[in-house]
Structure 1
Amino acid sequence: MENIEISRVILNDIADLQKIGKDTFFETFSESNSEENMANYLSEGFSEEKLIDELNKEGSEFYFAKIDGKVIGYLKLNTGLSQTELQDNAALEIERIYVLNAYHGKMIGQVLYEKALQRAEFLQAPYIWLGVWEENPKAIRFYEKNGFLVFDKHIFKLGDDEQTDIMMKKMLPIENV
């Protein structure tokens, strides 16, 4: 396995965050969505202003995965009121783990997930939760393999398309609490 560096994203990294965000979202979802919905989401969801707001928001953290200085994936975590849906003030949400397709199967997602676990342990979170698109079996298997269980569903809107996200969570060892 190549040497994977995990680093916290700062405001100076905004161009790299915007690029990896757009690239990985497009690779992951473009085949399953209309060109118009995809273009609008990439433009709005990864605008510089939106990413700066998210980076500055208390309780939101981004981390890059890099190999030889190249950003190949990223992680977004939320706590408290920054969670996309408040499940529990003390819980940790994994909002995004995305890795460029060229690096799938190289344990990059697992390394990013382990960073989320470290943050959850540090924060003494009782559990980690996330939403994953029901049409993304690869991601669902990844989370199941890591001990996540389905607990609910919610609607995610991509343009004019309403999609269902499966909500999953993993209880953490009691010594974390």
Structure 2
Amino acid sequence: MERVYKNAYEDFWIDGGDWYLELCYNPENVKKELSRERSHYFFVEHESRTVGILKYDFPFSPREIEIPNAMKLHRLYLDASVHGKGVAKELMAYVEQVAKANGLDNIWLEAMVEKPQAKRFYENMGFTKVFTYQLDFERLHPEVRGIQIMSKKT
């Protein structure tokens, strides 16, 4: 994540993203996330190399707006070397298949407002914007704190 996350979001953070990476990926937090029954965490491999992570949680609805009987696509980070190669589309198809197999009606995610390529990708995958709010992380530059919750019916 040091490579993958920072490559995409380093300029959003006062400290280059170090605080956020430590918050999310310190060993104690990762163990806690892995121990939750609703959490599903994967390393993404492509051509024999680890190129990112995928994490989804269900059942899970956002605090900000009710999305019933839903899965959260919590993390999908991929190395820039695999962008445009269909890896993300394949992962999205897998996530949708898991949601359907578990009888879930919706998939939702959070996308940074200031990452238009990510939002376009999710829109192309059938997601629509349902709610926008501001993150309150002090180390995140104020102009990039916007988050859009997007959802899709399965």
TM above 0.5, one fold? Answer: yes
- If the length of structure 2 is used for normalisation, what is the TM-score? 0.87
**What residue in structure 2 maps to residue 166 of structure 1?**
148
Deviation of 1:73 (Å): 1.7
Name structure 2 gaps, 5 residues minimum. Answer: none
Count of paired positions: 150
> Where does 1:12-91 land on structure 2 (aligned, <5 Å)?
21-35=1-15, 38-80=17-59, 85=63, 87-88=66-67, 90-91=69-70
Over 2 Å off, 4+ runs: 83-89, 154-162
1:110 pairs, out of 74, 89, 103, with: 89
Name structure 1 gaps, 5 residues minimum. Answer: 1-20, 173-177
**Residue identity matched to 1:31:** D
Deviation of 1:54 (Å): 0.5
Mapped partners of 1:151, 1:88: distance in 2 = 10
Mapped partners of 1:111, 1:73: distance in 2 = 13
Identity %: 23
8 Å CA contact 2:14–2:139 kept in 1: the answer is: no
String of CA shifts for 1:110-167, please: whole Å, max 9, x gaps. 1111111111111111111111000000100001001111110123244443511111
Deviation of 1:88 (Å): 4.0
**What residue in structure 2 maps to residue 150 of structure 1?**
129
- If the length of structure 1 is used for normalisation, what is the TM-score? 0.77
8 Å CA contact 1:120–1:128 kept in 2: the answer is: yes
Mapped partners of 1:87, 1:53: distance in 2 = 25
